[in-house]
């Protein structure tokens, strides 16, 4: 069993295009057990601490509510302490406020609102008071221009065992980093199966899409810190990406550049694999260019990222691996920071490129979900998971526990 990476391991320095990147040793945040499926870490910032929120449940459409472990670091990511287990908190769409509070959107707890043109659920406010985690919940609701598709109410919608979703749960979600636009509004990405689209048949080879329609990706805005969301635009529909993209446009990383908006999109990262795609808007989301493949990025899913002032544009991706890419401004020439190689060099007995089971074509022991947070002018915190048994269900054979790691990195121009 591997141990937490030690501070005695010397930092490693690598080059990525015009940048020199110094990587600290990976730090183990949490190791699960046979009863837990630990994946999908997301980062946030409290007043005097950093936070990581991680999924603990087996990912099933039948999961009725959000359940997360939460870790806290008071030393800039050098060490972590789990301060809450099985908390009723979502993740995947989070906003860290300047006053130290963190706003989190629902995921498993998401339900239809008063109509099938709306989706909502608990909006959770996290804070650290006298060293203790405080949770306050009210509600969030998002208004869409078209009807959202419902899950089947009498059988699993996909190949997941016993995954019968609650009857009032839409096939939709908030997904992606919440950001504040220059005009002050919050912007949150999301994706959904629209009711007007055809459902995927039960004999389709992409089992995880059975009973769903291919996804449509969209952007929402809020003027009240995520209590209500208004539909802003569709970024891309199933017809905007190649027909062989089995999922359609879904997970988004949004960038607000001075001269354009850009979205980087997942389109197909399960049994049928396609590269990430990108599209641009030059009119604040009113129109979008046709998505094109992001050719020089290996990752296929859950793009995350940020723009460093006086530094590179940062993109993190997963599947294959969990890596970081750097580019100049709006350039599409991304330079890879190989986190898999770094992890394996530091934690040799828990490699990120060896999997014990599973039959998906990318065969890597991680879900591919990552996140990144800027800590200083040149410093980033990166998080990723290691799931050696693959994306498993409660009755799947267990050989090794899942783990969450973080890495601190400093970037300087050569």
Which residue do the tokens 């993740």 mark? 91
Answer for the pair 278, 265: CB distance below 8 angstroms, yes or no: yes
Average pLDDT over all residues of the chain = 91
Predicted confidence (pLDDT) per residue in 330-379, tens digit:
999 999 999 999 999 999 998 888 765 545 544 555 667 899 999 999 99
Q: Which of 61-70, 180-189, 389-398 has the lowest mean pLDDT?
A: 389-398
Q: What confidence category does residue 21 fall into, taking pLDDT thresholds of 50, 70 and 90?
A: very high
Q: Is the pLDDT of residue 397 over 90?
A: no
Domain count of the fold of the chain: 1
Asked if residue 6 belongs to a domain, the reply is no
**Tokens matching residue 268:** 């197909």
pLDDT score at 159: 56
Phi, psi of 173 (to 5 degrees): -165, 160
Strand partners, 94: 104
Answer for the pair 200, 111: CB distance below 8 angstroms, yes or no: no
Cα 56 to Cα 31: distance, rounded to the nearest angstrom: 11
Q: Which of 120-129, 155-164, 215-224, 235-244 has the lowest mean pLDDT?
A: 155-164
Cα 326 to Cα 339: distance, rounded to the nearest angstrom: 13
pLDDT score at 270: 82
Q: In terms of pLDDT, which residue wins out, 163 or 361? A: 163
Asked if residue 114 belongs to a domain, the reply is yes
Query: Which are the contacts of 35, defined by CB distance < 8 A and separation ≥ 6?
Result: none
Q: What confidence category does residue 2 fall into, taking pLDDT thresholds of 50, 70 and 90?
A: very low
Percent of the chain past pLDDT 70, that is, above it, reads 91
Asked if residue 399 belongs to a domain, the reply is yes
Q: Which of 17-31, 142-156, 190-204 has the lowest mean pLDDT?
A: 142-156
Which residue do the tokens 């890596």 mark? 323
Cα 335 to Cα 329: distance, rounded to the nearest angstrom: 13
Asked if residue 313 belongs to a domain, the reply is yes
- Return the CATH number at 405: 2.120.10.10
Cα 304 to Cα 380: distance, rounded to the nearest angstrom: 13
Q: In terms of pLDDT, which residue wins out, 146 or 34? A: 146
pLDDT score at 91: 87
Cis before 131 (ω within 30): no
Give the DSSP letter of residue 329.
Answer: T
Q: What confidence category does residue 3 fall into, taking pLDDT thresholds of 50, 70 and 90?
A: very low
Q: What confidence category does residue 205 fall into, taking pLDDT thresholds of 50, 70 and 90?
A: confident
Asked if residue 180 belongs to a domain, the reply is yes
Chain centre to alpha carbon of residue 345: 25
Answer for the pair 45, 410: CB distance below 8 angstroms, yes or no: no
Percent of the chain past pLDDT 90, that is, above it, reads 73
Asked if residue 1 belongs to a domain, the reply is no
Asked if residue 27 belongs to a domain, the reply is yes
pLDDT score at 380: 98
Q: Is the pLDDT of residue 60 over 60?
A: yes
Residues in the chain: 414
Cα 158 to Cα 203: distance, rounded to the nearest angstrom: 11
pLDDT score at 35: 83
Answer for the pair 288, 264: CB distance below 8 angstroms, yes or no: no
Q: What confidence category does residue 1 fall into, taking pLDDT thresholds of 50, 70 and 90?
A: very low
Selection from 45-49, 167-171, 363-367 with the highest mean pLDDT: 45-49
Answer for the pair 24, 11: CB distance below 8 angstroms, yes or no: yes
Which residue do the tokens 């009240």 mark? 224
Cα 125 to Cα 112: distance, rounded to the nearest angstrom: 21
Cα 126 to Cα 128: distance, rounded to the nearest angstrom: 7
Q: What confidence category does residue 388 fall into, taking pLDDT thresholds of 50, 70 and 90?
A: confident
Q: State the average pLDDT over residues 121-138.
A: 96
Q: In terms of pLDDT, which residue wins out, 167 or 349? A: 349
Answer for the pair 295, 274: CB distance below 8 angstroms, yes or no: no
**Tokens matching residue 364:** 């890597």
Chain centre to alpha carbon of residue 203: 29
Predicted confidence (pLDDT) per residue in 252-293, tens digit:
999 999 999 999 999 998 878 899 999 999 999 999 999 999
Task: Work out the angle at residue 166's Cα, subtended by the Cα atoms of residues 150 and 53, and round it to the nearest 5 degrees.
Answer: 100
Cα 186 to Cα 107: distance, rounded to the nearest angstrom: 18
Q: State the average pLDDT over residues 4-18.
A: 83
Q: Is the pLDDT of residue 44 over 80?
A: yes
Q: Identify the domain containing residue 212 by its residue range.
A: 12-413
pLDDT score at 290: 98
Q: Which of 73-82, 136-145, 292-301, 365-374 has the lowest mean pLDDT?
A: 365-374
Q: State the average pLDDT over residues 104-133.
A: 96
Asked if residue 395 belongs to a domain, the reply is yes
How many other CB atoms are found less than 10 A from the CB of residue 233? Answer: 18
pTM of model > 0.75 = yes
């Amino acid at each position: 069993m591997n141990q937490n990476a030690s501070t005695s391991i010397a930092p490693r320095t690598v080059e990525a295009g015009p940048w020199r990147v110094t990587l600290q040793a990976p730090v183990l945040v949490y190791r699960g057990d046979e009863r837990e499926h630990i994946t999908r870490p997301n980062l946030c910032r409290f007043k005097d601490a950093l936070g990581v929120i991680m999924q603990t449940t087996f990912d099933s459409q039948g999961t009725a509510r959000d359940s997360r472990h939460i870790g806290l670091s008071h030393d800039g990511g050098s060490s972590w302490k789990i301060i809450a287990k099985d908390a009723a908190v979502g993740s995947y769409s989070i906003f860290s406020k300047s006053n130290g509070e963190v706003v989190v959107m629902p995921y498993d707890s998401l339900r239809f609102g008063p109509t099938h043109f709306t989706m909502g659920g608990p909006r959770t406010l996290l804070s650290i008071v006298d060293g203790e985690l405080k949770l306050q919940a009210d509600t969030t609701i998002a208004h869409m221009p078209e009807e959202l598709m419902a899950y089947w109410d009498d059988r699993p919608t996909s190949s997941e065992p016993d995954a019968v979703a609650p009857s009032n749960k839409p096939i939709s979600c908030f997904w992606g980093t919440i950001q504040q636009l220059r005009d002050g509004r919050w912007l949150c990405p999301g994706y959904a199966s629209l009711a007007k689209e055809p459902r995927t048949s039960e004999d389709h080879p992409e089992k995880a899409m059975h009973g769903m329609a291919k996804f449509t990706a969209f952007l929402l805005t809020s003027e009240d810190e995520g209590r209500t969301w208004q539909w802003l635009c569709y970024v891309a529909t199933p017809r905007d990406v190649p027909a062989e993209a089995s999922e359609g446009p879904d997970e988004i990383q949004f960038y607000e550049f001075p001269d354009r908006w850009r979205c980087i999109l997942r389109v197909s990262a399960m049994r049928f694999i396609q590269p990430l795609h990108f599209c641009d808007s030059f009119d604040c989301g009113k129109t979008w260019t046709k998505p094109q493949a992001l050719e020089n990025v290996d990752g296929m899913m859950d793009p995350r990222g940020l723009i460093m002032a006086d530094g590179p544009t940062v993109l993190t991706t997963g599947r294959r691996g969990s890596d970081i890419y750097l580019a100049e401004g709006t350039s599409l020439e991304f330079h890879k920071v190989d986190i898999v190689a770094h992890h394996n060099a530091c934690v040799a007995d828990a490699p990120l490129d060896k999997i014990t089971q599973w039959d998906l074509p990318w065969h890597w022991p991680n879900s591919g979900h990552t996140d990144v947070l800027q800590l200083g002018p040149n410093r980033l915190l990166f998080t990723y998971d290691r799931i050696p048994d693959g994306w498993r269900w409660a009755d799947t054979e267990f050989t090794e526990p899942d783990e969450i790691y973080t890495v601190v990195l400093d970037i300087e121009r050569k």
